[in-house]
Structure 1
């Protein structure tokens, strides 16, 4: 089962990763970071739970 890793970076921003059982990173916040843990957790929840499933490509 994949695991979500939420952590505070050295620059003080919050980040998240979704990590597979084999240790490979499946998804990440993309590097921009979040100012608070609540926003970081909220966005990662939406991504992991399919909240952006209706997104279109350009």
Structure 2
């Protein structure tokens, strides 16, 4: 029973990560193409860090 719960949490966390990652990629694409803005490497790294951080926090809740 515990393995099933852990497996469900892993799948849910992965799907959240995927959704957030795709959303940030789409927003980054819109921002860069529509407004001719490019993120600096630090800004891009921050977005990637937040993309990974949110599902990790949700998993350990």
TM-score, normalising length: structure 1: 0.32
- TM-score calculated relative to the size of structure 2: 0.31
Higher percent of residues as helix: 2
Larger radius of gyration: 2
Structure with higher strand content: 1
Higher RCO (Cα < 8 Å, 6 or more apart): 2
